[in-house]
A and B are shown apart, each in its own frame.
Chain A
Amino acid sequence: MKKLKIAALASLVCASGLLMSVPATADLVFPSLSYRTGPYAVNGIPYADGYADYMTLVNERDGGIGGEKAQILECETGYNTQKGVECYESTKGQGALVYHPLSTGITYQLIPKATADGIPIHSMGYGRTSAANGKIFDHIFNYPANYWNGASHAVNHMLEVNGGDIKGKKVALVYHNSAYGKEPIRTLEELAAKHGYSLTLIPVDHPGQEQKSQWLQIRRERPDYVVLWGWGVMNQVAIQEAANIRFPMENFIGVWWSGSENDVKPAGPKANGYKALTFHDVGTNFPVFEDLQKYVVDAGKAAGNGDQVGTVLYNRGFYAGFLTVEAAKLAQEIHGTKDITPAMMRDGMEALKVDADLMAAAGLPGFGPEFEVSCDNHGGPGLGAVQQWDAASGSWKLLSDYAESDMSVIQPLIDEDSAGFAAENNIEARNCG
């Protein structure tokens, strides 16, 4: 027994050493809070692969960012906020420059922590929408578009289809019953008051594998449009259920997180015509993908299985990598040093200006909208487009150009919500000159 005790003690000592994670060695550290397991993995994997592959590409082709190698620190969160916090704490001490939590719940969790630690967060198209107000949220960025832009894009699309009048139409919002899914409600309500449609809220609880009762309700109430605010396995189930009740797919609009190949493919040809929002292009029809093939995929350095290249969420992760690298380059330029700190990275992000030349230089001409970040606007202009699924060819097609959202409704909401946050946390608005 004593031997056993000694063995137990010895293993405990070893274990306590291993509980500390091993420090990283590279210079520019970009943590990737990914999720490759659990009910959200189907969407988490392509995004994480895209982000990691862009960094690998930059390392292999250009020798890093301004000569400094970029290192991805991957940490599995399982889309769980508790694990997300653990990941944040374990990676922040290793020189993390910017966080992409890829989870609205984790973003909410990290906003106060990262602000206190002085590390920027880029919640690209998710997170807390009112973080677009840079005067209050100095370390949080959500360019190029946010949830409320998305809600407005969906309504704008309905307006466009109906010749500018949707008075009396019934719109149902099927949403993930979490901070993520609840984000657009306020905007959709304000827009309902403005345009005269009626809004029905239909929550789906985590993880959303069971939606029979929700779609029964839709079948009974026969809304003209259904807006989907889902993530992970919930998307596939919703699209499948919509097909089962023969809901017209062209009246079914998903946010950009509910519009990837993995979401529509399980429903097969029945998903044809499903629409989703997006703020970047899809496919591999860009010069940079030739480099990617040459330096990363063919060299066997692709993240994950390397089978996601060109899919919607892969491209989104890729785009996140592109925006991060450009911001880091800018930070190096502004501060005249290659070895940047999180504070310098933040300055780079705030000065980011993405125009046609920059995208073309990176081999991504016309990949996303042109936008500019500034001290008081961390959200960009919020341009977005609508894409439609073509089941026969198995590809997404952009229906429109990148268009404006209804900022006359959204901006007051952003101001109100961020002012509330500032009052709650005793934050004084920065002077942006």
Chain B
Amino acid sequence: MFYRQAGDFKTSYRGDIQTFPLKQDRIGYYLVLAIAFLVVPFLLNDYWVSAVILPFLIFAIAALGLNILTGYCGQVSLGTGGFMAVGAYACYKLMTAFPEMNMFVVVLGSGIVTAAVGLLFGIPSLRIKGFYLAVATLAAQFFLVWLFNKVPWFYNYSASGQINAPERLMMGFAITGPNASPAARYLFCLVILVALAVVARNLTRGRVGRSWMAIRDMDIAAEIIGVNPLKTKLSAFAVSSFFVGVAGALFFSVYLGAVEVTEAFGINQSFLVLFMIIIGGLGSIFGSFAGAAFLVLMPVLLKNIMVGGLGWPTDIAAHIEFIIVGGLIVLFLIAEPHGLAQLWRIAKEKLLLWPFPH
């Protein structure tokens, strides 16, 4: 009744193919953007930004990246952690080698470096598929982490093997380093996330995205109708790695400020991002956001309920948190294998018909 298609006429092709064909969706989208840019920055404090919002924004970028590769192009990857590490170390090397460089350029540059590395590790995907490709990307994960530990050039020969983000300003505001204000860090990540999400959305519904999906659905058929598998798979790897690399760069420079590769970009990180897109929904932009939100917010929420709210011992709370998050993942896979995005889709469809479903 309130959420409806009726009366929303399109008089041009442009209007017909826009991202949000429903007026209400469009309004909602602009409203969310307006709140995110104009209201949220004033409500933030250190705790919110460091514990909840920044990890959500950054993991949303990583999930978008992996979703392009796995959800849209059907190439399973377990190397996300490793590619995030490439982004982080590229960011560190760029920050220290060119102190004057604009942070946006640094972060996007890190993404480009990661894209090149991803391209390299994408080559085997032309020969191997499915589980075997997953194992090949797993090798990338371990190799990259080992490399960043082994070669001191990557961490500028520091004694601890850690990389630390020096302070960088943007329009007079510190973006990285201990003096960065929560709002500045938030806005920096938000701008990048929104820009990348728009790019991802338009890539996936355009020609490139259609060829990715063709390869995903049946590669032989796609090849017969003229989709070049070499170009398609490698472009998916490159674009996906770019996103993941940007996420890694932000994770290191804006979010944590100092990382140690084994711990920050281990195999756990790869699985975490994979769980995000599975729970959120494979092949869905909204799903990347929903999955990231779910897996970032849920543990913090559970912890605060159990330790802060109920006053339980921290170890019991931590163990119960594992059980609940794990249980929810299993539950989701059984009840809704297409993820949160599918739930959202169904809810919207039902709402369109409500209250007269027949």
A115 touches B178 (CB 8 A): yes
B308 touches A37 (CB 8 A): no
Contact pick for B178, options A15, A78, A112, A203, CB 8 Å: A112
The interface stretch among B65-73, B82-90, B157-165, B208-216 is B157-165
B264 touches A81 (CB 8 A): yes
| Interchain nearest-CB distance for B199 vs A (Å) | 27
Given contacts A1-B354, A21-B308, A179-B160, contact A81 B260 (CB under 8 A): yes
State which residues 156-182 of A face B: CB under 8 Å: 177-179, 182
The interface stretch among B43-51, B120-128, B240-248, B274-282 is B43-51
**A206 located at the interface, meaning its Cβ lies under 8 Å from any Cβ of chain B in the complex:** yes
Contact pick for A183, options B50, B159, B305, B351, CB 8 Å: B159
Given contacts A178-B161, A185-B159, contact A36 B318 (CB under 8 A): yes
What B residues does A183 contact at CB under 8 A? 159-160
**A425 located at the interface, meaning its Cβ lies under 8 Å from any Cβ of chain B in the complex:** yes
**A82 located at the interface, meaning its Cβ lies under 8 Å from any Cβ of chain B in the complex:** yes
Cα–Cα distance between A206 and B319 once the two chains are bound (Å): 20
B47 touches A109 (CB 8 A): no
**B342 located at the interface, meaning its Cβ lies under 8 Å from any Cβ of chain A in the complex:** no
B45 touches A2 (CB 8 A): no
B351 touches A1 (CB 8 A): yes
A425 touches B166 (CB 8 A): yes
Closest residue of chain A to B347 (Cβ to Cβ) is A1
Main secondary structure of the interface of A (DSSP, over half): helix
A116 touches B309 (CB 8 A): no
The interface stretch among A88-96, A218-226, A273-281, A371-379 is A88-96
B179 touches A116 (CB 8 A): yes
B160 touches A108 (CB 8 A): yes
Closest residue of chain B to A74 (Cβ to Cβ) is B314
**A85 located at the interface, meaning its Cβ lies under 8 Å from any Cβ of chain B in the complex:** yes
What are the interface flags for B11-52 relative to A under an 8 Å C-beta threshold, 1 for contact and 0 otherwise? Answer: 000000000000000000000000000000000011110111
What B residues does A45 contact at CB under 8 A? 315
A93 touches B350 (CB 8 A): no
A113 touches B178 (CB 8 A): yes
Closest residue of chain B to A87 (Cβ to Cβ) is B51
Cα–Cα distance between A411 and B161 once the two chains are bound (Å): 21
The interface stretch among B102-110, B190-198, B251-259 is B251-259
Cα–Cα distance between A36 and B166 once the two chains are bound (Å): 33
| Interchain nearest-CB distance for B24 vs A (Å) | 14
| Interchain nearest-CB distance for A302 vs B (Å) | 12
Given contacts A22-B309, A108-B160, contact A92 B46 (CB under 8 A): yes
State which residues 304-337 of B face A: CB under 8 Å: 304-305, 307-309, 313-315, 317-319
What are the interface flags for A303-347 relative to B under an 8 Å C-beta threshold, 1 for contact and 0 otherwise? Answer: 000000000000000000000000000000000000000000000
Cα–Cα distance between A78 and B266 once the two chains are bound (Å): 15
B263 touches A37 (CB 8 A): no
If A37-B319, A76-B307, A179-B162 are given as contacts, then 20 extra A-B residue pairs at C-beta distance below 8 Å, sorted by A number, are A2-B354, A19-B304, A21-B307, A36-B314, A37-B315, A74-B314, A76-B317, A76-B318, A81-B256, A81-B259, A82-B264, A86-B51, A89-B47, A112-B258, A116-B179, A178-B262, A179-B160, A179-B161, A182-B160, A182-B161
Selected A-B contacts with CB under 8 Å, 13 pairs: A2-B350, A15-B297, A18-B304, A18-B308, A20-B304, A82-B256, A85-B51, A85-B256, A105-B260, A112-B178, A178-B260, A185-B159, A206-B263
